[in-house]
Structure 1
Amino acid sequence: MKRMVKRWAVTAVAVPLAAAGARGLSRAIERRRGPSRASGLLQQMADTIRPRRTSRWRRRRR
């Protein structure tokens, strides 16, 4: 049981950090060199790991 709690705690921290790191790296690459295949793949990976949050109360503009 203790092992499962440790694993869950590490996963709960590591996954969001990995997604944030990938997004940050993607933005840094795009700032320096402009959009590229590598920055696009990093952004896609970050969205796969943890999608960006959007407010459920915000309405779409038409």
Structure 2
Amino acid sequence: MRAQLIRWAVLAVVVPIAAAGVKKIAERVEDRRGPRSKIARGLRKASETVRPSKH
């Protein structure tokens, strides 16, 4: 039970941080390759799937 609680707490912190990191990477890729980059769009889509923006 305790291990599950610790695992949940770690994931609650790590997932938002990872999603923010992927968004930043997508921005850098977009700056280098342009706004129509398939890689940047894929990274953005992945980050939105994990943690949707609030607009």
Q: TM-score, normalised by structure 1?
A: 0.80
CA RMSD of aligned residues (A): 0.9
Distance 2:54 2:14 in 1: 18
| 1:31 to partner: Cα distance | 1.1
Structure 1 residue aligned with 2:16: 16
Structure number with greater Rg is 1
Superposition misfits of 4+ residues, deviation over 6 angstroms: none
Unaligned ranges ≥5, structure 1: 55-62
Unaligned ranges ≥5, structure 2: none
Identical pairs, percent: 43
| 1:32 to partner: Cα distance | 1.6
Structure 2 residue aligned with 1:3: 3
Distance 1:53 1:11 in 2: 20
| 1:53 to partner: Cα distance | 1.2
Total equivalences in the alignment:
54
Please state which structure has a larger fraction of its residues in helix: 2
Between 9-18 and 42-51, the greater mean CA deviation after superposition: 9-18
2:10 corresponds to which letter in structure 1? V
| 1:33 to partner: Cα distance | 1.8
| 1:39 to partner: Cα distance | 0.4
Distance 1:13 1:40 in 2: 25
